[in-house]
Amino acid sequence: MSRISGLHIGIEHLSEVDSAHDLAGLPERYVLPPDGHSVEAHFDALYPARRAEQQWLDLARPSRHFHELLRPQAFRQALAQLRQTLEASPDPHLHAAAQLIAARSDDEQLLHVALNLLHKV
């Protein structure tokens, strides 16, 4: 059972969505979220109102998750790629952003040196 639909009002009448429902074009409003996902997160899909506001909210809350950036090596690599991209741009504001990223990585290295010295003492 991959998805459950609520074609009827009561929860006792919930039914499984199978290929027959997909072919019939079940409205997305009646499809419940998958197991483990909250209903509140799916309000945008359930009630498509105020599309202009939803566009701004979609920009503020990207659909992609960046869990891989929680690893320090992956985060440093992503910052290095971002810095190279910013330095390749002709815009002086983007060059200033690249210098800020460079200063941040320099500060991080100094903090690592200080931490290693504290561990040795």
Is the pLDDT higher at 19 or at 58? 58
Nearest Cα to Cα of residue 16 among 31, 32, 1: 1
What pLDDT, in 10s, does the model give residues 56-76? Answer: 777 777 666 677 677 888 888
Amino acid, single-letter form, for residue 7: L
What pLDDT, in 10s, does the model give residues 49-61? Answer: 667 777 777 777 7
User: In the prediction, which pLDDT does 58 show?
Assistant: 72
User: In the prediction, which pLDDT does 19 show?
Assistant: 56
The reported pTM is: 0.43
Query: Which tokens sit at 92?
Result: 């002086």
- Residue 72 CA to residue 50 CA, distance in Å, equals 39
- Residue 42 CA to residue 36 CA, distance in Å, equals 12
Among the listed ranges 19-23, 47-51, 93-97, which one has the minimum average pLDDT value? 19-23
User: In the prediction, which pLDDT does 99 show?
Assistant: 93
Determine the 3-state secondary structure of 4 from DSSP: strand
